[in-house]
Amino acid sequence: MSLKQPFAELILQGRKKIELRKWNTKFRGNFFIRASKSSDNEFMSKFGFSKLPLGKIVGKARLIDVKKYGSKEEFEKDRNLHLADDSFEGYGFILEGVERVKEFSCKGALGFWEVKG
């Protein structure tokens, strides 16, 4: 799964435990975390990062559950787990078993996809 920086790094550091998406998935299990080729400059600055790996697999995690956010109160309750502002409606992918891996370049795709090679 591809994520913009600094969100991939925040997951690897254990600071972000829920990844937010507008779509749901039935997938459960292990997956690689790929840092997209572009970063979110506003959040890079907000979290104190200047340079992070881009366009590479940087870690792996296990998706154990998906939470549907149906109210602002529910979303706010998990703020310290997803680190987002209050403008989101959708799904929270609950992650465990996060590990950093030796970085390697990899072309990304939308959603969950197979890493070739």
Question: Domains of the chain: which residue ranges?
Answer: 2-105
The pLDDT of residue 117: 57
Q: What is the mean pLDDT of each run of 10 residues along the chain (117 residues)?
A: 96 97 94 94 93 95 96 91 83 97 83 67
The pLDDT of residue 72: 87
The pLDDT of residue 105: 85
- The residues pairing with 69 across neighbouring beta strands, listed in sequence order, are 90
Give dist(CA 51, CA 68) in Å, integer.
32
Single pTM value for the model: 0.91
Closest CA to 22 of 92, 113, 110, 96: 92
The pLDDT of residue 112: 64
Domain 2-105 in this protein, CATH class: mainly beta
Q: In what order do the strands lie in the sheet with 29-39?
A: 2-5, 29-39, 56-69, 90-105, 18-21
